[in-house]
Amino acid sequence: MTTWNRRVFIGFVPFTALSLAGCMKQTEGPEKVHYGRESCTMCGMIISDPLYAAEIRGAADQKLVKFDDVGCAIHWLRHVKWDDGAIAEFWVMDSGDGTTWLDARKARYLAGAVTPMDYGHAALDDQRPDLIDFEKMRSTVLSMGLSSRCPPPAESNA
């Protein structure tokens, strides 16, 4: 093997490994949202505000679905009839910084926030007394019904 061939081969090995790593499917944890380019699974709107994004990963196939508002995620779960066992992970963006993912079930929520689909709950990693827990937020969002901006998805088990 000539020196030039060895250099090409040595340079090709790391490139190939990195290329293959990019093809591997992530099966746990939240994934990066491509703001302004990805759509909410529930309403179809472009996910553009990093303060209110949410993601859910299914347990069976590790499928990840993304939302522009935690309210969309709550309604989508009810509509597709996933039970708690079908949900491997449920993430919400910390509205305090827009960069930190929080476990949705452990986060606390500030009611009255101006959110993309008007469900009005901002997730925070905080224990202030004016914040509510996941179950209270979930109950409130479901009692509100679907946002007028949010058409129901087609029937499926997604």
* Domain ranges (residues) in the chain: 27-144
User: pTM for the complete prediction?
Assistant: 0.77
What is the per-residue pLDDT across 71-125, written as a single tens digit (0 to 9) for each? 999 999 888 866 666 778 999 999 999 999 999 999 999 999 999 999 999 999 9
Residue 46: closest CA among 57, 56, 38: 38
Task: Compute the distance between CA of residue 105 and CA of residue 117 in angstroms, rounded to an integer.
Answer: 20
Q: What is the pLDDT of residue 90?
A: 94
